[in-house]
Amino acid sequence: MTEPTFKPTNFIRQIIEKDLNSKTVETVVTRFPPEPNGYLHIGHAKSMCLNFGLAEDFNGRCQLRLDDTNPSKESDEYAQAIIEDVKWLGFEWHGDVCHASDYYQQLYNWAIELINKGLAYVDSQDSDTMRKNRGNLTSPGIESPFRVRNIAENLDLLERMRRGEFADGEHVLRAKIDMQSPNMNMRDPVIYRIMNVPHERTGDTWHIYPLYDFAHGLSDSIEGVTHSICTLEFEDHRPLYNWFINNVTTTATPHQYEFSRANLDYTMMSKRLLNLLVTDNYVNGWDDPRMPTLAGMRRLGYPPEAIKEFCNRIGVTKQHNQIELSVLEGAVRDTMDSKAVRAFAITEPLKVTITNYDGVEFFQAKRHPKLDMGQREIGFGNTIWIEKSDFAETPQEGFKRLSPGAEVKLRYSYIMRCDEVIKDRDGNIIELKASIDPDRSRKFKGLGIIHWLSAGHAVKATFRLYDRLFKSPTPKADTFAEDLNPLSLVETAGYIEAGTENLLAPDPIQFERMGYFVADSKDHTASQPVFNRTVSLKDNWQKS
């Protein structure tokens, strides 16, 4: 599977088709506008697939724009990570990467235009007073005493704000709309705030920066965006989006449409909370494979095609919904199955000495059970490793693997019987003595089948067995630290089939019976292999 299995219609697609058929729009122009204040996560992937996908499907164009309007929280690291993620998912943007900061002068000119029209003013109230006077959902706001400042005074103050003559928070520029509006976003929203912070791209040129609501829609207009597609939390911002566009001199009038976010089980999507996970060392960076970031998923081994297929499966609606993580993991399994070569690995080794065998031979096995990926040779000797979990000294009813006196089929090899259990002084099992039936033609119906590795033909490896970061499907923001899954990462030392150590990310491998894995992109070397478990072979969190 390299592409989504189908492309279902949705209400945004239907809007675009109608606009094209009616000639309301000649060319579809979308944009993907993340803020470079953190790494992109799986929720951004849905928006990315939608914006780039629609532009591609309708022979339009999609612009990648970094909405860099808050230099105190932004960095070039985040910007470069965003660009890498877009490339990783296989999307191509129109022209160069754009930035809101490219438009700072034009946005400033529009702010001056609003002042000259009597539609903006400099407010000198402190932030607490301004917040209190804004009112709430049941009571109207109170107009600022500075709302009546004349045009000349507002223009002078704004220019001095821009030059850096005032401290942070001393003044703001607000749109003059309606303090009585039932929509809180329309109650004289702030357009510019003072931030005496250098910008990554503009340096110390500006000491004021536009607010997102002001910069976003007008940047869409500058870029000629026809369909500005946002998540549902921006639905109440749409009147403000339209107000700015309608009250400045611009030729392009984009329209905003909203869709539901991808709310995923066992995951947090807030950049603020994801940043806390990183800065408070709950995880090992933004690309920790337990993170819902695209960088983390890439390191975990998720193929980009699986991310696209997941976004395709969940669809585009206006309905708030909680998506089971199994839907994402299912798309990952389906995608990896056709790509992953097969091999043996032992993650928790138990030594077995075969007492009636003294030799070396090699067995042939397919590198993939259904596809023609060639053969592999598996060495066999009188000392092998098996998984600890494949042996039980006192087996429960229905246990079909190895136990004292019982037989199992060694996959691709012999039938083996456990004859003796060796323990250390503390009673821990450290070795099994076993014997094989030399007749490989013997039927093994009814016997359990286990994997194994010859001690003389295995390579030491480290396994990182990743699981869900949170115990609860809906972790709460104020108690998320208490909900962390202590088994979200279990690291073990074991063995892999010889030759497997040369496999590098992003090429996947299925360690038979263990799951899909990928070599860690940072720590893996052929001399010291490190494999991350991307996903198990089945959903171990199914509801009982």
CA distances to 104, 165, 210, 272, 441 from 195, in Å = 14, 11, 10, 20, 79
Q: Estimate to the nearest angstrom the gap between the alpha carbon of 351 and the chain centroid.
A: 39
Active site residue 261: yes
Answer for the pair 351, 382: CB distance below 8 angstroms, yes or no: no
Of 262, 260, 344, 332, nearest to 303 by C-alpha is 332
**How far is the C-alpha of 80 from the C-alpha of 235, rounded, in Å?**
29
Active site residue 35: yes
**How far is the C-alpha of 290 from the C-alpha of 91, rounded, in Å?**
24
In DSSP terms, 375 is beta-bridged to 366
- According to DSSP, the β-strands at 383-387 and 349-354 are antiparallel
Of 366, 330, 354, 367, nearest to 503 by C-alpha is 367
Q: 230: burial class by Cβ within 10 Å (0-12, 13-18, 19+)?
A: middle
Q: Which two tokens stand for residue 113?
A: 């235009």
The residue annotated as part of the active site, out of 134, 160, 201, 261, is 261
DSSP string spanning 166-233?
A: S-TTS-EEEE---TT-SSGGGSS-EEEEE----BTTTBTS-SEEE-HHHHHHHHHHHTT-SEEEEEGG
CA distances to 86, 300, 304, 305 from 1, in Å = 20, 19, 11, 8
DSSP string spanning 99-130?
A: EGGGGHHHHHHHHHHHHHTT-EEEE-S-HHHH
The residue annotated as part of the active site, out of 35, 74, 329, 512, is 35
DSSP string spanning 10-42?
A: -HHHHHHHHHHHTTS-SS-EEEE---SSS--BH
Number of H helices, E strands in the chain: 12, 27
The residue annotated as part of the active site, out of 65, 149, 193, 271, is 271
Cα angle at 185 between 183 and 188, to 5 degrees?
110
Active site residue 522: no
Helix (H, G, I), strand (E, B) or coil at 368: coil
Task: Please identify every residue annotated as catalytic.
Answer: 35, 261, 271
